[in-house]
Amino acid sequence: MRTLAPLNVAITVAVLVSIPMFAALIVLLGGARWFPCGDMAQAELHMRGFLSHPPLVGAAGRIVDNTGFQGSHPGPSLWVAMYPVYALGGRTSAALMASVVSVHLVSIVAAVWLVVRRWGRWAGVISGLSILLLLRSSGSDFMVEPWNVWMAFLPFLVMMLLLFDVVAPRSDMGQQTRVWRWVIAVAVGSHCVQCHAGYLVIVVAALLLALGVLIADSRSVKGAWRAPLFGGAVATLIMWSAPIVDQMRRVPGNLTILREHFTSPEEPYVALSLAARIVTSQYNVVGPWVLGPHVHASNDSWLRWPGFILMVGMTVWAIRRSRGTVERRLLVLTNVVIGVGVLSITRIFGPYYEYTIRWFWVLVVLNVVLCARVIVRGRSMTAISPRRVVVFVSLASVTLVGLTTFQAVEGLRLPGATDSRIVSILAPQLREELDPADRYLIRMYDPYTLNATGFGTLLELGRSGYEVGVDLYFAAAALPHRVVMEDDVDAVLWVVVGQPIERARQDPNLVEIASADPRSSSEQARAVELLAAIRAGLERTGRDDLVASLERPGASLVFAEPPLEVDVADDVRALIRLGQPVSVFRAEPGANVTAFDE
pLDDT tens, position by position, for the chain (598 residues)?
A: 444 688 999 999 999 999 999 999 999 999 889 999 999 999 999 999 899 999 999 999 989 998 889 999 999 999 999 999 999 999 999 999 999 999 999 999 999 999 999 999 889 999 999 999 999 999 999 999 999 999 999 999 999 999 999 999 988 888 899 999 999 999 999 999 999 999 999 999 999 999 999 999 888 788 788 999 999 999 999 999 999 999 999 989 999 999 999 998 888 899 999 999 999 999 999 889 988 876 544 445 666 889 999 999 999 999 999 988 889 999 999 999 999 999 999 999 988 888 999 999 999 999 999 999 998 876 655 555 667 777 887 888 899 999 999 999 988 888 999 999 999 999 999 999 999 999 999 999 998 888 999 999 999 999 999 999 999 999 999 999 999 999 999 999 999 999 899 999 999 999 999 999 999 999 999 989 998 998 898 889 888 888 887 777 766 677 777 778 888 888 888 888 888 999 999 999 999 999 988 6
The per-residue pLDDT for 352 is 86
The per-residue pLDDT for 380 is 52
Do 436 and 348 lie in one domain? The reply is no
Do 305 and 320 lie in one domain? The reply is yes
Query: Could you give the angle at which helices 175-195 and 200-217 cross, rounded to 10 degrees?
Result: 170
| Domains held by the chain: number | 2
* 475 occurs within a structural domain: yes
Determine if the peptide bond prior to 562 is cis (ω within 30°): yes
The per-residue pLDDT for 372 is 92
* 592 occurs within a structural domain: no
Do 429 and 382 lie in one domain? The reply is no
Distance CA 15, CA 586 (A): 50
* 596 occurs within a structural domain: no
* 165 occurs within a structural domain: yes
* 597 occurs within a structural domain: no
Of the residues 377, 410, 443, which one is the last residue of a structural domain? Answer: 410
Domain around 561: 417-587
Do 428 and 395 lie in one domain? The reply is no
Do 324 and 473 lie in one domain? The reply is no
Distance CA 9, CA 21 (A): 19
Do 104 and 186 lie in one domain? The reply is yes
| CB within 8 Å of 594: residues ≥ 6 apart | 507, 509
Query: Could you give the angle at which helices 93-119 and 153-167 cross, rounded to 10 degrees?
Result: 20
Kindly state the helix (H) or strand (E) to which residue 170 belongs, with its residue range.
Answer: none
Of the residues 388, 410, 432, which one is the last residue of a structural domain? Answer: 410
Whole-model pTM? 0.93
The per-residue pLDDT for 554 is 66
Q: Shortest CA distance to 202 belongs to which of 418, 73, 357?
A: 357
Tell me the C-alpha to C-alpha distance, in Å, between residue 82 and each of 77, 99, 138, 452, 571. 9, 5, 20, 22, 37
Do 489 and 506 lie in one domain? The reply is yes
* 55 occurs within a structural domain: yes
Burial class (CB in 10 A: 0-12, 13-18, 19+), 202: buried
| CB within 8 Å of 122: residues ≥ 6 apart | 393
* 529 occurs within a structural domain: yes
* 268 occurs within a structural domain: yes
The per-residue pLDDT for 1 is 42
- At residue 503, the 3 state secondary structure works out as helix
Do 432 and 401 lie in one domain? The reply is no
Do 446 and 337 lie in one domain? The reply is no
Which parts of 293-345 fold into alpha helices (H)? 304-321, 326-345
The per-residue pLDDT for 77 is 97
Of the residues 410, 441, 460, which one is the last residue of a structural domain? Answer: 410
Do 386 and 456 lie in one domain? The reply is no
The per-residue pLDDT for 89 is 95
Tell me the C-alpha to C-alpha distance, in Å, between residue 93 and each of 86, 98, 453. 8, 9, 15
Asked if 441 and 486 count as a contact pair (C-beta separation under 8 A), the reply is yes
Do 387 and 421 lie in one domain? The reply is no
- At residue 57, the 3 state secondary structure works out as coil
Do 455 and 339 lie in one domain? The reply is no
Distance CA 290, CA 181 (A): 29
- At residue 72, the 3 state secondary structure works out as strand
The per-residue pLDDT for 304 is 82
| CB within 8 Å of 544: residues ≥ 6 apart | 538
